[in-house]
Amino acid sequence: MRSILDSWKVKFNERGFPHIQQAFVLPPEKMHELDPFIMLAEDWFKRGTFADHPHKGFQTVTYVMDGRLEHIDNKGGRGILGPGDVQYMNAGAGARHAEEAVDDDIVHSLQLWLNLPAKLKNSTPFYQDIYAEDVPVKKVGSAMVRVFAGEGGPMKPLVPFSMAEILLPAKETYIHELPIDDTAFIYVLAGRAAFGETSVILEQGYAATLTKGSSFRMESAERTKVLIYSGQAQGDPIVSYGPFVMNSREEIRQALQDFQEGKFGPEAK
């Protein structure tokens, strides 16, 4: 049974227009402790915040909590995601895209960055949109579990990981199964509960990393919603700079040069 390894209250920062508010649920400085996870950002934004920009060397998972998000790539692809929808992106060898709020919407999103192993840093970029109605919901006792990635989930990532959202009514208990050696963390979206073997109390706005183990327990004091992620550590060197995550400073320099020379393709608009 897993326990809470470390926990912290997420700090929200007012940004102004059009990037209204941002929080790093998983701060980038924790990336070396949380392999394969680079960061988890929570954002509230209007159109113009995430216009055309590049990525290279990692995967992203964008979960739309509220508002309508238009995704535009530089190969002519575009689509709109709404509340409960998720997009997976393998940036691989280099992706260039825009993520824009639709009309006057304020988008509330969570975006996870996951590392790619060295041998896949130059893999072919691709996207997968997953709509809320296509996400399976499992009833486990009194808990409702939405499975986005992992066993039974619709997401087809290049490097496997798991992502689930757990909704537990007040004064109930749920045990979540996890691969025994995966790095794992949780983010409490709503409510308050006792987590792990040592029953650490966490409430809305707290994140926590977990010890190793094959299962994780939560006991709710009130109606509680939690996101839980897990993935296998890769053990590669990690060097991150802006929208690039590589294995060395030289690879970062090359990624910057490639983007400046237009090797990521035309602007996404």
pLDDT, tens digit (0-9, with 9 covering 90-100), for 145-188 = 999 999 999 999 999 999 999 999 999 999 999 999 999 999 99
pLDDT at residue 15, as a whole number: 86
Q: How far is CA 46 from CA 20, 82, 162, 244, 269, in A?
A: 7, 14, 29, 24, 16
pLDDT at residue 77, as a whole number: 86
Contact 165, 133 (CB under 8 A): no
Contact 227, 135 (CB under 8 A): no
pLDDT at residue 36, as a whole number: 98
Contact 230, 60 (CB under 8 A): no
Chain-wide mean pLDDT for the chain? 96
pLDDT at residue 174, as a whole number: 98
Give yes or no for residue 251 having a pLDDT over 90.
Answer: yes
Residues 6+ apart with CB under 8 A from 251: 57, 121, 239
pLDDT at residue 253, as a whole number: 98
Specify whether domain 4-252 bears CATH 2.40.160.40: no
Nearest to 62 by CA among 97, 93, 19: 97
How much of the chain exceeds pLDDT 90, in percent? 93
Q: How is the chain split into domains, by residue range?
A: 4-252
Contact 169, 219 (CB under 8 A): no
Local confidence band at 269 (pLDDT 50, 70, 90 cut-offs): confident
Using a cut of 0.85, tell me whether the model's pTM lies above it. yes
Give yes or no for residue 189 having a pLDDT over 90.
Answer: yes
Q: Which residue has the tokens 């992106």?
A: 89
pLDDT at residue 180, as a whole number: 97
Local confidence band at 122 (pLDDT 50, 70, 90 cut-offs): very high
